[in-house]
A and B are shown apart, each in its own frame.
Chain A
Amino acid sequence: MNSIEMAESEADQKILESVADALLVLSNVGYGDYSTRLQLDKDDNSPLASLYAGINDMIAALGTEQEKNQQYQQELEGKLATIEQQRIAIQELSTPIMEVWDGVLCVPVVGLMDTARSSEMTSALLRAVVEKSAKCAIIDITGIDVMDTRTVDHFVRMAKAVRLLGSECVLTGMNPHIAQTVVHMGLDLSNVITHRNLRDALQQYVGQLMQTDE
């Protein structure tokens, strides 16, 4: 082997090593590591230098893009979490008052019944009874497991207030535990009509109205 051939094979070797380096760094990028950069000897003026610089620039650009993406994703996830929390909040807090028939209001109550919610419900219901000149208001508490005695008492007061406004107040779906509380407290339920479930109450009141309509 003469000296020229030696020099050529050495150069080939160097190019091969450089390509291997580049592949290694690119595979790092493939795995999401944007921190590594290709490095050449300072005195190297071969075309590889500009190729390396190009690759480095590309990796840097990719890295910043990726960072931006992650930031967007975090923001989006944060917003989605907020929306989910608000959805649950709306579900747990709101008590829709529906006019299921002319003059028949229906209030399905689900979730946790605390004192704040029961007082909000009372004012909303009384307002609705007046606004819609309701003949009857059906409050369905099938979805309530537990009520404090004071809250039960407040419910009965609410029923009496509805009565005073000239409409009937019907409680449906009371569970045995709450029924026990009512009896235990010795509450006067003479103003309150109760039905086993919402279906029975709707049948009676809507049925009555349909007959009078005919």
Chain B
Amino acid sequence: MFQVPTIADLNLGLTLPALSLALGACVLLLLDLFVPRERKEITAWLAMAGIAVSFVLNLAGFNESGTAFLGTFAADQFTGFLNIVILITAFLGVLLSLDYLKRAKIERGEYYVLLLLSAAGMMFMSSANDLIVVFIALELLSIPLYIMATFRAPDLKSEESGMKYFILGAFAGAFFVYGAALVYGATGTTNLPEIFAAVNGIIAAGGSQMFLLLMGTGLILVGLGFKVAVVPFHMWTPDVYEGAPTPVTAFMSVGAKAGGFAGLLRIMVVALPVFVLKDGQTAAAWQQTFWLVAAATLILGNIVAIAQTNVKRMLAYSSIAHAGYIMMAVAAAGTAGVANEATRAALLYLMAYMFTNLGAFGIALAIEKDDGSDTGVDNFIGLAKSKPALAAMMTVFMLSLTGIPLTGGFVGKWFVFKSALDAGLVPLAIIGVLTSVISAFYYVRIIVNMYLKDGEGDPAAGATRYVNWAIYVAFAGTLLMGIFPWIATNLSDTVVLAVEMFVR
């Protein structure tokens, strides 16, 4: 019968990091009214304070795990680790935006509110324990991004970017809901652990409900695949990344992927790891599909990136390719016994990618002109002469994206390839290594442009104080993770997402 839930039932303590950020966004919306128009950097600092509070709360509760909100919210080390990635992304996103918005004359307090709301959506996503929460969090993550992408309006490219992202994103959201409905139809619940419990019964019955579950899983992959931009759901990425204001691109290239993969991992690893088509198989039914998607993403992303002349478009294709590497880890998670290792690999990859990609976008932002032009690959020519420090850091970012040892990117790739091999996906690992070699081609071209080609060198007028700070943090993170990988691996060692005890 109905009972009024008490505060203790809700277990609010576990939800503090996400709730405090959401609350911070609401408070910021009000405080922003009192910030004078020409001093909007105050709003930015307040936003960073809100992120910092959430970060501290997240670290304080890192080792606690349990469920809150009557089972719809799960807090564990997976959440804790991803929250670190999301909060650092949001923090650096604000730092990159501070001067940029002023330069582009689009400075408005609402920007930071939207950024916080989007980050809160990502955090809810990382701890969603119910398909409905995954869906709502997905929308909370996306809607602010649509708006931020069009923040440079009436600039046509920015409007195109926001519009495209919105329409395709809404479309993808519909796919996700359809999939969730079919999974609900098969299992009779939206709660992830309960779906997990129901799956074995469905396999044993072997009836046409298998069909529902299979189709539902596929549609969920379509919905979330859109968000993380894997082939063949990647079409929007280059246009959106190119048209959106650069700090927004930086934020969404990492944040949306972190959120999307959080949802994908939660659904696949928590709810559907034992979903096989025939009794006795050791790999989940969805592994084959994920395998194909990962392989297609790696090949297409890396090859098309070579042809790009705009650095934002190039990084867009590179981000598609990196989604492929993370997808490789998700596919590996489909093999019984490897799920937790693969989850950790995906998390580590996301962290390395976060630092590196934010840094690379930071430098692209630094050489960008006030009107958003000059983001070509050729604009890097001679940067080593005009801005040696920036050029050196860009070199490290490019090497890290390629996956050269002593950088974060290498550590991420190492764990992803290892988990793929442990899962028996040898061909996929080989494709991963080969495409990494191909990727060196377009990453190194930037380094060649900076050091070996003669040219004036861009003055990098956008490299103002806060942008520099953000780039330094990203640089330090990339190197720290590469040289002392145990800092990150220790954090992720306690991540246990899958129930490994099950016997088939």
Check if A and B associate. no
